[in-house]
Copies of this chain bind each other. A is one copy, B any other.
Amino acid sequence: MRPEEKLGRELPRYREELFDFLRIPSISAQPSHQDDVRRAAAWIREDLERTGFAAELVETEGHPVVLGEWRGAGPEAPTLLIYGHYDVQPPEPLPEWDSPPFEPSLRNGRIHARGATDDKGQVFLHLKALEAMLRDGGSLPVNVVTLFEGEEEVGSVHLLPVVERLRDRLACDAVVISDSNMYAPGIPSLLLSLRGLAYFELRVRGPARDLHSGTYGGAVVNPAGALARILSSLHDDRGQIAVPGLYDDVVEWDEETRDAIRTLPFDEAAYRRECGAEALGGEEGFSTLERSWIRPACDVNGIASGYTGEGAKTVLPATAMAKVSFRLVPDQDPERVGQLFRRHVANVAPPGVRVEVVELHGGHPWRARPEGAFFEAARSALRQGFGELPVLTGEGGSIPIVPAFEEVLGAQVVLLGFGLPGSNMHAPNEWFPEAHVEKGIRTLIHFYREAGKAPLRGPRGKDPAPRS
């Protein structure tokens, strides 16, 4: 029986299994759910074993990584690494859910559950595509290694050491990741870029203790006011980031790519409605999609200082703090951005306060090579599954492990997402389009099949070229 026929026959069972998987509250951030996270890992391992994989839990200091291997295509065939994560965001605030987050509910063509899109639902598509092809004596033209982690929602802190330690077993020709959205309903997409991240905490200290703002106001430098001055110095009047040198490493995109972005159907009114903003803003000379995909951004993620309760407290606060993050594009480097940011802050901070910059998180930007057999396989597979060739899109967010995969494994990464915009990843009422279960599995079956036609890249597990 062809895998597509098997898919048609087994779909009702697949949906039941998906609901079982989504019922496990694998919330990596909450220690009380530690056993549930491990249960989700075991669920995957057993599923892989039933399909015919050798599977194991690789222990870390945190939650385990599920490593699966099927090498039935033989040493002459290409190898694909499938990465995903089985942990989910905390569901809070619970009262805002229309149905309980861990009791999957199908309504209006949407499967509502925490993790339905991010990322258990999409991991599940891979598991069932593999099952449809391999179980009952089937075969695959590619070797497949799976790497499903349980800490993506808490920063993937233990993943990179595992990848480095197991680099020989993870050696592959391409990495495929389904952890993102399609461009729009009916418009499949392939990701061309991810932005990087450089995230800081700014700490401003003024007087030794909170002072009375009447007695001292006007004579003692106010740390909250100083912080506001520093933060407002981060942009100029044209919406550009005003940190000197910040754009030095920004690669201008070619006109072809910019044209491709410009011709994407984009409904700004719908976008505004979706995020609830009355008007949009940003860097002059760039469209909304360009601003969020291919241009750097700088955001204040939080500020705290002084008295913020009810009523009027006349305090001149001793300290003020802000979280500030930069989204980076090729070839910006988070460390270099950190140096520029520190220098700028030191230049603009007024005398009378001490300012400290603490680096909290960093990740490199990434740009796909939109070519080659695996990329073409993904294009062709999406047309097979959704009836349309995919558009090329960017993603404003960061997946730090993507450039790390390229660097450590020297393999091309293909980002092939099946969610839809507005799917409420990280928010109440997360959902996944029910029709995408079948279409997604169909797409992946085709993708694996096409990937088997890719030429071998040469010796695997080699050291990659040094990063520029």
In the complex, chain B residues whose CB is within 8 Å of the CB of A410? none
Annotate A155-190 by CB proximity to B: 1 below 8 A, 0 otherwise.
100000000000000000000000000000000000
- CB nearest neighbor in B for A241: B218
- Residues in B whose Cβ lies below 8 Å from that of A275: 207-209, 211, 216, 220
Closest B residue, CB atoms, query A206? B277
Chain A to chain B contacts (Cβ below 8 Å), 9 pairs = A206-B277, A208-B277, A213-B297, A213-B327, A215-B292, A217-B298, A217-B299, A228-B300, A281-B352
A316 pairs with B301, CB closer than 8 A: yes
Q: Which residues of B contact A460 (CB under 8 A)?
A: none
Q: B302 near A306 (CB under 8 angstroms)? A: yes
- Picked from B221, B303, B427, the residue with its CB within 8 Å of the CB of A305 is B303
Q: How far is the CB of A226 from chain B (nearest CB, A)?
A: 9
Residues of B within 8 A of A222 (CB): 299-300
A279 to B207, alpha carbons, bound, how many Å? 9
* Stretch from A12-20, A144-152, A317-325, A451-459 forming part of the interface with B: A317-325
In the complex, the count of this chain's copies comes to 2
Question: Is A461 part of the contact surface with B, judged by Cβ < 8 Å?
Answer: no
A360 close to chain B: CB less than 8 A = yes
In the bound complex, CA of A251 to CA of B169 (Å): 80
Contact: B209 with A427, CB < 8 Å?
yes
> Is there contact, CB below 8 Å, between A199 and B307?
no
Q: Which of A230-238, A374-382, A432-440 sits within the interface?
A: A230-238
On whether the beta carbons of B282 and A219 are closer than 8 Å, the reply is: yes
Chain B residues near A317: list those with CB within 8 A. Answer: 300-302
Number of A interface residues, CB 8 Å?
84
- Which listed segment binds B: A59-67, A99-107, A126-134, A392-400? A392-400
- Looking at the assembled complex, report how far the CB atom of A98 sits from the nearest CB atom of chain B, in whole angstroms: 16
Contact (A306, B307) CB under 8 Å given A213-B327, A327-B213, A396-B217? no
Residues of B within 8 A of A115 (CB): none
CB pair B307 A323 closer than 8 Å: yes
Q: Which residues of B contact A303 (CB under 8 A)?
A: 224, 227-228, 303-306, 308, 320
Assess whether B304 is in contact with A396, with CB atoms less than 8 Å apart: no
Q: Interface centre among A282, A307, A308, A323, by most B CB within 10 Å? A: A323
Instruction: Tell me, in angstroms, the Cα distance from A208 to B272 when the chains sit together.
Output: 10
Determine whether the beta carbon of A295 is less than 8 Å from that of B218.
Answer: yes
Indicate if the CB atoms of A195 and B219 lie closer than 8 Å: no
